[in-house]
Structure 1
Amino acid sequence: LGSALVVGYMRRYAVIATLPLFTIFLSFIGWAWYSGSTENCGCFGSKLKHSPKEAFIFDAILVLALVITQLLSWQKNKEPKVKEVNQTWKLATVIVSIIVGLTVSTYASFSPRQSSDPVVRLQVTQPNPFQNIVVSGLNVDLQKGLQVVVLMDTGCDHCQASVPRFNEIFEQSTIFPPLTAICSNSALDVKDFQRKFTAKFPIGRISAEDFLKLLEKGDTPRLFLLQDGKVLKIWDKECPSNDELKGSLPK
């Protein structure tokens, strides 16, 4: 549809086909906005918060632009038609775009970078993701020993709700590795988070760039099981049970 719109091949039908796609997408975003289930979640870091309301407005503007384009197209069709040039090259462009798109998508789907296992993705892109990461407010070396590291955001509802579980793991230091958390929030935000949600585990701060590097395609809270800086296991959004965490520990 995109290539057809760009080169002008059957543009009117391409616009008509695009409108329902945007409408369906808007309906999902509109429901998320109405229900408020993800409002101000902050699950992509405090620097990248993007509410359903904002997404709805942006996409609604695009839909409006498509509608205006279609109206202008209908108006143009009422004018005397000029003899059209050969449309073969436009059709060829669309076909080539489809073939290239399918080929690239198929190839990428088999790449380790697209693996559903976050550990596999990190091994390809970042073999040692915690190397050279500067942590402030935390007297722990993430490159040494066996430990659980939580990547979180103080404004994330999922992180806030998981504090009791984090406390539980932290307090069972004789059974589980020591637990620490890192985030890209300010020192004041961390202090307020610890006070409001009674977080007993230590929380360090890293740069927003390092936060996004560790988060990659995942979600917060993201739990890393590390051994000497090497990632053994990753849990996104869900905290592991005691049995699952024990089973993931190196023998």
Structure 2
Amino acid sequence: MNNKISVAIKYLLGVVFLFSAYSKAVGPGLIEIILIDHGLTDSREIAAALTRILIGFEFGLGILFFLPYEIKRFTLPLAALFLTVFTFYLLYTEFVLGDSQNCGCFGSTIAMSPIESAFKNAALLILVYIVHRHEKTSRKNLMVPAAALIIAVAVTFIAVPVKSADDFPFSNYTHFEGAGRADLSSGDKFVAVFNTECEHCQELAREIAGSDKDRKFASKLFTLFYSEGEVNVDSFKTLTGYDYPYRLIDADEFFDLIGSSPPRIYVIRNGVVKDILDDNFDEFIETLQK
């Protein structure tokens, strides 16, 4: 094989690992939720720390493909081990845990099922093997790649600090009908709190459904429904045309989250509640129409 092709593949592998790290870093909450769902920890803080170690390791591994040190003896075997271990874990996720949702390998940027990601890893393992066969020269100094990995993990904890979930009122809402896993702690999100029997809630829901005709907010707007009486969620959808990811909450949760009366909309940016709308929804409706 032409040496230039082998070098190109090596750099491609580096880019893939860097992109994988970046896609997790922009929304680490998804990986944290997955770790908790899979029973690896029941603490959001521990899940956050493990997530940052994973991101830092991938970030460091991506950098190693661009450094001329111990490629054949350190970087390639480490990449192969990493991909192999996670491929087995993906298969365990699919066939033992029965979880076919987005595995989080590329965060929320590119949603992949565990099987799809396993095939992706198999393809990367083939590329690692090709580079290993044709890699000839690299400088010998194990301290450089080892130090690069440690520094990458340390920098990740600084660049993507672990946040406390104690002050975030939606930290426990990680699964929604119509969306599966959802991380409300990253990016711009909107949480509507509705009572299905409430006429004002129904009226606002109709306005939202009518204004968001292009479904631009389908991945940003989440609803917490308190349902009592004759109007259930399906009836609410039929009456209003409102169809966004939702979750049912009990009376205590509902009254903790609303003001004096429903509806209420929370405007969230990266896990911080930036605004609370209780009666003046005109600006929000205008946002939907843009």
* TM-score > 0.5 by shorter chain: no
State the TM-score, normalizing by the size of structure 1.
0.42
| Structure with max Cα Rg | 1
TM-score normalised to the size of structure 2? 0.37
